[in-house]
Chain A
Amino acid sequence: QKEVEQDPGPLSVPEGAIVSLNCTYSNSAFQYFMWYRQYSRKGPELLMYTYSSGNKEDGRFTAQVDKSSKYISLFIRDSQPSDSATYLCPRVDGNTPLVFGKGTRLSVIA
């Protein structure tokens, strides 16, 4: 069993929709959680990170961690075609290399 599992997608939504992307993790010792975004034919880039439980907001993006249920979510409000990308939630374990899953591909249709 992978330590972080992600909804496989793909996900297609109309412009302006609220998008919810989700991951679950199994190791309760994990403290940091990251969301990477990867545009087609580009390298991944860090979108947001959060520590422990709670919400973190950055513009239209909100990262949420629920440690009791071991659930990680990324919400995108007023989604735009420019949000079309693959979103990744890697395993973050101290200084060890990030472990990525397949990610969720999102398409926002104008």
Chain B
Amino acid sequence: NAGVTQTPKFRVLKTGQSMTLLCAQDMNHEYMYWYRQDPGMGLRLIHYSVGEGTTAKGEVPDGYNVSRLKKQNFLLGLESAAPSQTSVYFCASSSPTSAPYQQLKTYNEQFFGPGTRLTVL
């Protein structure tokens, strides 16, 4: 199992350019997420999806769009990149898990990819 993979690993854009980040998972997970991580800010949720064909906004969705056309893929798009979008982007996936000793309760272990380092000049 490759787990969660992200393409590309690095990218440099000029202001106004567009690009798409690809996330793929081979664990048959229902849920997928995009986070960004900036120095001093921690991980912040951009968008997420609870199933194929569904998406929802997270904490910082402005300037990004997403699509989940296939269960295993989650795409993050930047239509017109801005320097404020310089960041490290992490994709994650999960399936609700029932605790072995508490069948009525679930928790959400998220598996993360290696990240994409994006610089917008």
Number of residue pairs across A and B with beta carbons under 8 Å? Answer: 66
State the majority secondary structure of interface residues on A: loop
A34–B110 Cα distance when bound, in Å, is 11
Contact of A95 among B41, B92, B108 (CB under 8 A): B108
Given contacts A51-B99, A94-B108, contact A100 B115 (CB under 8 A): no
Q: Mark B20-42, 1 if CB is under 8 A from A, else 0.
A: 00000000000101010000111
A35–B26 Cα distance when bound, in Å, is 24
Contact A92 B90, beta carbon cutoff 8 Å: no
Q: How many residues of A contact B (CB 8 A)?
A: 23
Of chain A, the residue at the smallest CB distance from B42 is A102
Of chain B, the residue at the smallest CB distance from A44 is B112
Q: How many residues of B contact A (CB 8 A)?
A: 30
Contact A41 B115, beta carbon cutoff 8 Å: yes
A5 to chain B, nearest CB (A): 12
The answer to the question of B48 belonging to the interface, with a C-beta cut-off of 8 Å to chain A, is yes
A101–B45 Cα distance when bound, in Å, is 11
The answer to the question of A60 belonging to the interface, with a C-beta cut-off of 8 Å to chain B, is no
The answer to the question of B61 belonging to the interface, with a C-beta cut-off of 8 Å to chain A, is no
Of chain B, the residue at the smallest CB distance from A45 is B112
Which residues of chain B have a CB within 8 Å of any CB of chain A?
Answer: 4, 31, 33, 35, 40-45, 48, 50, 58, 90, 92, 96, 99, 101-102, 105-115
Q: List 14 A-B contacts (CB under 8 A).
A: A34-B107, A41-B115, A43-B112, A43-B114, A46-B110, A51-B101, A51-B107, A94-B108, A95-B31, A97-B45, A97-B110, A98-B110, A102-B41, A103-B42
